[in-house]
Amino acid sequence: MNVVPFSVLDLATITDGSDAATALRHTRDLAQHAERWGYRRYWVAEHHNMPGIASAATAIVIAHVAAGTRTIRVGAGGIMLPNHAPLVVAEQFGTLESLFPGRIDLGLGRAPGSDLATARALRRTLASDPDAFPQDILELLSYFEPRGEDDPPGTVRAVPGAGLKVPLYILGSSLFGAQVAAALGLPFAFASHFAASLMLQAIEIYRRHFRPSADHPEPYLMLGVNIVAADTDEEARFIATSGRQSFANLRRGLPTTLPPPSREFEREVVPFGTIPLAEVQSVSMVGAPVTVRQGLEAFVDRTRPDELIIAAQIFDHAARLRSYEIVGKSR
């Protein structure tokens, strides 16, 4: 397998019978372990009105994780930019970069990260305007530009923010995100962990249309992968049933906390690579170390990503730590 960096995507998952405080403690603990296991970055994602996700106040969770670690990069995967004024995002991440210099990432998405009623409660404009997201990104980038005494009167400055290097990443689960990232010359993170059917098209569009920028002369592609690893295939299939139940509940419009594993939801997992990538709905690998490694090798050889970001919906915290440890050792 071509060696690529591994990173962590965490939703600060709240499990049945637990609470957000416990989920956030587990998030920081996992980040500390991931740092020791050599993961490159640790991202948390903005979601709202979701009973099983504790990372709604994403910038605060990032500060919580960064304060408990020393070297791993910490960031958002991502901030849903239409929910926020670009100036506010620049100030928040300028503050984070000031507190934890050289360690903060800012991934940006254009979905609400919520249902329509919650989007309204966030004061989000619900009108669909494809041009707004790129323009908001450009406005946000402008707030990180250095400012001086010769700025025109009335210039709005992000303090902290102006003059700081906060790397931006464009997130996407469709072709639009690939187009935006390519046009702006920014790294692109595709959500193949839940929207893989468009992955190959998005990769091709991003790489073919990428316009080099000052900070990024070459395209940089991150791909999301679901992985549940355990010491045996049987154990991995069992603990993976928590995520399967949670996803089924979400598809029914009834999001819940993450349920414990259940034998009723256990089934044989189709090995990665036996279904054409264009037909895969989510990139997932479940199994023992050798099973996971074989799946990762096939996926990396086919897609040639610059980085993989690993998601894992696992009920038991010790089992989740073990899963990420196995993945970290599979490179």
Count of structural domains within the chain = 1
Range of the domain at 137: 6-328
Q: How confident is the model at residue 273 (pLDDT cuts 50, 70, 90)?
A: low
Residue 167 lies in a domain: yes
HSE (side-chain half, CA atoms, 13 Å) at 168? 29
C-alpha span between 329 and 331 (Å, rounded): 6
Whether residue 80 is predicted with pLDDT greater than 60 in this model: the reply is yes
Helix intervals (H) in the chain: 20-36, 58-67, 86-99, 116-121, 132-143, 175-184, 199-209, 233-239, 241-251, 289-303, 317-328
Let me know: does 182 contact 206? Beta carbons within 8 Å.
yes
Whether residue 270 is predicted with pLDDT greater than 90 in this model: the reply is no
Check residue 65 and give its pLDDT: 98
Residue 1 lies in a domain: no
Mean pLDDT of 254-282: 71
Q: Supply the CATH number for residue 143's domain.
A: 3.20.20.30
Check residue 275 and give its pLDDT: 57
Residue 10 lies in a domain: yes
Q: How confident is the model at residue 134 (pLDDT cuts 50, 70, 90)?
A: very high
Dihedral pair phi/psi, residue 223, rounded to 5°? -125, 135
Q: How confident is the model at residue 194 (pLDDT cuts 50, 70, 90)?
A: confident
Mean pLDDT of 33-53: 96
Check residue 164 and give its pLDDT: 97
